[in-house]
Amino acid sequence: MEEWVGLKWHEYVTRQAMGEFPEHTVHLKDEARTLGVLFRALGGDPALSLVTAEPRHFQIRRRFVQKLAGTHRKFELAWRDEESLRLPEQLALFPSRKINRELYLWLAALASLGEIHHHSWLQGNQAMVQQLLGQWPGLEPMYQRLVRHTLHWRPRPDTLRGNEAEREKAIRQALIHPGSVTDLPDALTDPWPVVLWLYPILGRGKLKGQIIGDDNTQSKSGGLAKKRKRRRAERVDAFDKDQGIMLFRLESLFSWSEFIPVDRAGDDSEEDDAESVADDMDMISISMDRREASSAIKFDLDLPSEENDDLFLGPGIHLPEWDWRRQGFREKFCCLQPMLSREAVPSPLPERLKNPAQTLRRQFSALKPLRQWERRQREGEELDLDACLERVVQQRRGAGDMDQKLFRQCKQNQRDLACLVLADISLSTDTYINNNQRVIDIARDGLQLLSEALTASRDPFALFAFSSRRRDHIRFHHIKSFDEPYNDTSRGRIQALEPGYYTRMGAAIRQSTKLLQARPEHQKILLLLTDGKPNDLDLYEGRYGVEDTRMAVQEAHKAGLTPFCVTIDEEANEYLPYVFGSTNYVVIKDPTQLPAQLPKLYLNLTR
């Protein structure tokens, strides 16, 4: 009974202290698609992803009920950097769902103009508001509504003292008349957050603590990342597991939960509540003692010795890489190494694939070249009897100009296209989809069934796979070239594919583009199979990897190719439209259906 009363009291006090309107809450996940369209339509960087903002700590003057409830210490505020636009996870500040939604729209529109820096937070936001309203006057009524509600939400100057009151008056004036305030009076506390403005990048400048990078847990819809929040962190000495708890002073027991030794080198057990515990922590302590983890990672990712590795085909190929920060190429920056599997042995088609392969061969055989007679030709193998009869009739009628096309010729009705299939075999393909099937197993089956279908259609095709370990070692596995027949040797190479390393996608696409450019066919298709975003150890992650891959795809388009991506990545909708275009990719939601869906996708592409 006491616990129930305490819980109800806590809920009541918190609700009174928050001063929000839960019944009018608007969630970012519901508005993500609209905000993304608005942001890009107003000129925002299309490469930015929309993610939730993390709470910022403020030392503001709080009312008694707020102190009692422990609220108003952290606020989720809007900001953006070179990789993402960050907005509050939900908004319930105003007594209208429409106004809360308009706040999301306003912040997305304001962020389309750029990011704010520490030294120009006040003047920069006012200038951006003026610029936005000047470019899009239709936003003026919405802005005025938001200002009225924001002023009502903020503390009144007459409830504050000294410089705090003067500062609040200045902020109110800056909201009502943007550009009229040049500086804020100094005060002992922080100013009440301005929800209509952007804030500087969290972690830049002289802020307390350091910042841990984004984690990779993203949502499955709308391009909205669910838990990619930065954390305040501090470095601590190595945590000794042999130390007992009694070595700490007794008063430290109350802060014991704030120190969690994040050491996963020897214990990979699942902890269901680990994520929620991390979310509740204000500060995460990170130890520099990572000797066990680093040795384990080296064991997994170091390259094998030459005698145990696959066969190298030549000294390697140097390729450029696009650096979006410099807006230029780094010439000969990557080294792509063509390779041939040492362990591959000629193998027949697996028994489980024989029935679907037979069905595909029957379907695709209808696409193979057929011999057709072309009538009324000036020269050919045989006389066209119909044309000859018409010629005799014309002669007897005394026609002046008579048709000279009296022959027929048998020609090959050929599909003028070539396809190069490029498969991602990075370490992530070692993931199990179900209890007994990995992503790499599904990819192998898909490659074999697609190859059986293409062999039946007699379309020229080539098969390659890739992975990488930094820019100086991009592994480009040779499975089948355009000039090789598809036989047991090729099947054995497919079955010998094993996952490993990372995904430097741009270089693999550039090399595939070169191979396809050498083909004489009119239509050239580059079909990429992958299970995730481009990434590698040496900064080839995040926006850098996405931008380089996008540039490689654009180069393929300029070369006359048709790049198309098939992925099983559930978060692909966040980045693939930007990389490949909205119509040049497909997400297979059930990875086990990839082998059956791949030939159908190819058929739709080439019709």
The more confidently predicted of residues 277 and 418 is: 418
Which one-letter amino acid corresponds to residue 603?
L
Query: H or E stretch including 125?
Result: helix 121-135
Stretch 240-261: mean pLDDT: 44
What does the pLDDT read at residue 218?
Answer: 35
Alpha carbon 201 to its chain's center: 21
The single-letter code of the amino acid at 519 is R
Maximum Cα interatomic distance, the chain, rounded to a whole number of Å = 122
pLDDT bucket at 17, cuts 50 / 70 / 90: confident
SS (H, E, C) 170-220: HHHHHHHCCCCCCCCCCCCCCCCCCCCCCCCCCCCCCCCCEEECCCCCCCC
Choice among 4-8, 110-114, 123-127, 260-264 with the minimum mean pLDDT: 260-264
Residue 578 CA to residue 586 CA, distance in Å, equals 13
- SS3 (DSSP) at 152: helix
- E strands of 484-522, at which residues? none
Q: Report pLDDT for 472.
A: 92
Average pLDDT, the chain: 81
- What pLDDT score does 406 carry? 80
Top pLDDT among 387 and 274 is at 387
Strand, coil or helix: 421? strand
- Residue 255 pLDDT > 50, yes or no? no
Distance CA 458, CA 174 (A): 70
Assess whether pLDDT exceeds 60 at residue 230. Answer: no
CA-wise closest residue to 471 among 311, 578, 341, 330: 330
Question: Which residues are paired to 225 by β-bridges?
Answer: 51
- Residue 324: exposed, middle, or buried by beta-carbon count in 10 A (0-12, 13-18, 19+)? middle
Asked if residue 494 lies in contact with residue 448, where contact means CB atoms within 8 angstroms, the answer is yes
pLDDT in tens, 470-520: 999 999 999 999 999 999 999 999 999 999 899 999 999 999 999 999 999
Nearest Cα residue to 534 out of 224, 324, 314, 283: 324
User: Which has more pLDDT, 258 or 313?
Assistant: 313
pLDDT confidence band for 232 (50 / 70 / 90): low
pLDDT tens digits, 134-161: 999 999 999 999 999 999 999 999 988 8
Whole-number pLDDT of residue 73? 85
| 131-135, 374-378, 416-420, range with greatest mean pLDDT | 131-135
pLDDT-derived band at 420, boundaries 50, 70, 90? very high
| pLDDT > 70? residue 347 | yes
Tell me: pLDDT of 370 over 80: no
- Average pLDDT of span 430-437: 82
How confident is the model at residue 573, as a pLDDT?
84
User: What's the rounded Cα separation, in Å, for the pair 460 and 420?
Assistant: 9
* Consecutive H or E run containing 100: helix 97-111
pLDDT of residue 512: 96
Model confidence pLDDT, tens digit, residues 261-282:
444 444 444 445 555 555 555 5
For the ranges 55-69, 124-138, 269-283, the lowest mean pLDDT is seen at 269-283
How far is CA 599 from each of CA 36, 249, 427, rounded to the nearest angstrom? Answer: 33, 67, 25
pLDDT at residue 281 in the model = 57
Q: pTM to 2 decimals?
A: 0.69
Contacts (Cβ under 8 Å, ≥6 apart) of 463: 420, 421, 423, 447, 451, 479, 480, 490, 493, 494
How large a percentage of the chain has pLDDT more than 70?
Answer: 80
Query: Exposure pattern of 167-186 as b/e (b: 16+ CB <10 Å)?
Result: bbebbbebbeebeebeebee
Mean pLDDT, residues 312-330 taken together: 92
Interatomic CA distance for residues 322 and 553, integer angstroms: 12
Q: Where are the domains of the chain?
A: 2-225, 312-364+415-606, 370-413
Is pLDDT above 50 for 575? yes
Give the torsion through C-alpha atoms of 519, 525, 531, 535, to 10 deg.
60
What's the burial of 110, exposed, middle or buried (CB within 10 Å: 0-12/13-18/19+)? buried
Q: For the packed helices 439-457 and 594-606, what is the interaxial angle rounded to 10 degrees?
A: 40
Percent of the chain whose predicted confidence (pLDDT) is above 90: 48
Res. 11: pLDDT tops 90: no
Q: Is the pLDDT of residue 217 over 80?
A: no
Please state the three-class secondary structure of 244-283 as a single string: CHHHCCHHHHHHHHHCCCCCCCCCCCCCCCHHHHHHHCCC
| Range in 26-35, 205-214, 458-467 with the lowest mean pLDDT | 205-214
Contact 420, 430 (CB under 8 A): no
What are 471's two structure tokens? 């820019």
| pLDDT score of 389 | 85
Q: What is the residue-wise DSSP string for 343-388? A: S----PPPGGGHHHHHHHHHHHGGGS-EEEEEEEESS-SEE-HHHH
Q: Which tokens go with 179?
A: 């550009």
Q: Are β-strands 561-567 and 585-587 bridged in parallel, bridged antiparallel, or unpaired?
A: parallel
The angle formed by the CA atoms of residues 136, 141 and 147, to the nearest 5 degrees, is: 110
Residue 487, SS3? coil
Number of C-beta neighbours around residue 198 at 10 A: 23
123-131 average pLDDT score: 94
Query: Rounded to whole angstroms, how far apart are CA atoms 590 and 587?
Result: 9
* Residues composing the chain: 607
Least confident of 38-47, 124-133, 313-322, 384-393: 384-393
Q: Which of 590, 217, 597 is nearest to 439 (CA)?
A: 590
Task: For residues 347 and 340, give the distance between their C-alpha atoms in angstroms, rounded to a whole number.
Answer: 16
Top pLDDT among 131 and 415 is at 131
pLDDT band at 372 (very low <50, low <70, confident <90, very high): low
Cα–Cα nearest to 210, from 239, 233, 185, 240 = 233
Average pLDDT over residues 415-419: 86
pLDDT recorded at residue 19: 77
Are 320 and 331 in contact by the 8 Å Cβ rule? The answer is: yes
Q: The sheet that has 231-236: what strands, in order across it?
A: 210-212, 231-236, 284-287
Which H or E element spans position 297? helix 291-301
**pLDDT at site 605:** 85
Q: Does domain 312-364+415-606 have CATH number 3.40.190.10?
A: no
Structure tokens given for 13: 């006090």
**Among candidates 293, 299, 316, which has minimal Cα distance to 471?**
316
The winner for highest mean pLDDT among 42-51, 436-445, 548-557 is 548-557
Q: How high is the pLDDT of residue 407?
A: 83
* pLDDT tens-digit series, residues 166-200: 999 999 999 999 999 999 999 888 899 999 999 99
Yes or no: say if 58 and 190 are a contact pair by the CB < 8 Å rule.
Answer: yes
- Residues 6 or more apart whose CB falls under 8 angstroms from that of 530 comprise 423, 424, 503, 505, 565, 566, 567, 569
Tokens of 134: 């000047």
Q: Which pLDDT band holds residue 229 (cuts at 50, 70, 90)?
A: low
